[in-house]
Amino acid sequence: MMSEKPIKPRKDAIQERSKFTVESIYEAAVQVFTENGYTASTTDLIAERAGVSIGTLYQYFPNKKAILVGIWNRGMEDADRGRDLFVNRFKREGGFGPTWIESIVKGMLEIHKRAVRPQLFFEEVPQPDFIKERLLEKESVNIRMFRNLLEHRGTNLRPQRPDLAARMMYEILERLIHRYLTHFHDELSEEEFVREATDVISRYLFADEKA
């Protein structure tokens, strides 16, 4: 039985020059994957776009799937940082002002902007198990965050169960934002999308009052 080809980067980029090289490869790969699709893309095309030799590329990545995994990991790290910044700002500013749901929608939209594109590439290739596990972990963390926010808000919620409301709120926003960024971003401005998504969540959470 043949062993599976490695799909993780060969080594971490520690020195500034190495970090710059890796970032150049990532950015080039995003462009090449977007233009050609993952399947038709090659490491030669990526190296050429990045302005590095194929040998340099292989110092860091054994194959194009490892590059894709690196892009995905980078997006998830950005998403985690964005979520933490959002929660801290939410707590610092007292949270539940008149536009708190709008703030949540905006925060999730910003988080997804960096994370959604690598997920598109993975539609062409099977997802590694560790990525599936990471996505489930992210989902659990986000739903728990929503539940904490709703329990803190407390009064006047239409749903009787904060845990169920948090799950529904997450699933609705996750689907809406993903579809917006991947299918109809050109048809609707971000301001319009945020307004409409905020209205959807507000109507679900609150029966007869403004959020």
What tens digit of pLDDT does each residue of 4-14 get?
455 555 555 55
- Report percent pLDDT > 70 for the chain: 79
Residue-averaged pLDDT of the chain: 82
Residues 91 and 172 in one domain: yes
Give the H or E element holding residue 204.
helix 190-205
**Within a domain: 81:** yes
Residues 44 and 76 in one domain: no
Residues 77 and 180 in one domain: yes
**Within a domain: 111:** yes
CA atoms of 83 and 151, how far apart (whole Å): 18
Stated pTM of the model: 0.70
Measuring CA to CA, which residue among 28, 41, 10, 26 is closest to residue 125? Answer: 41
* CATH number of the domain bearing residue 41: 1.10.10.60
Q: How many CB atoms lie within 10 A of CB 76?
A: 20
Q: Average pLDDT for residues 172-194, to the nearest whole number?
A: 91
Write the DSSP assignment of 136-198 as a string of letters.
Answer: HHHHHHHHHHHHHHHHHH-TT-SSS-HHHHHHHHHHHHHHHHHHHHHHSTTTS-HHHHHHHHH
**Within a domain: 76:** yes
CA atoms of 85 and 83, how far apart (whole Å): 5
* CATH number of the domain bearing residue 86: 1.10.357
Q: Please determine, for residue 22, whether its predicted confidence score (pLDDT) is greater than 70.
A: yes
Residues 52 and 127 in one domain: no
| Domain limit, last residue, from 60, 83, 113 | 60
Four-residue CA torsion sign, 110, 136, 175, 70: positive
**Within a domain: 120:** yes
Q: Output the pLDDT for position 157.
A: 76
Domain that holds residue 114: 71-205
Greatest mean pLDDT range, 35-49, 70-84, 92-106, 108-122: 35-49
Domain count, the chain: 2
Residues 144 and 164 in one domain: yes
Q: Please determine, for residue 94, whether its predicted confidence score (pLDDT) is greater than 70.
A: no
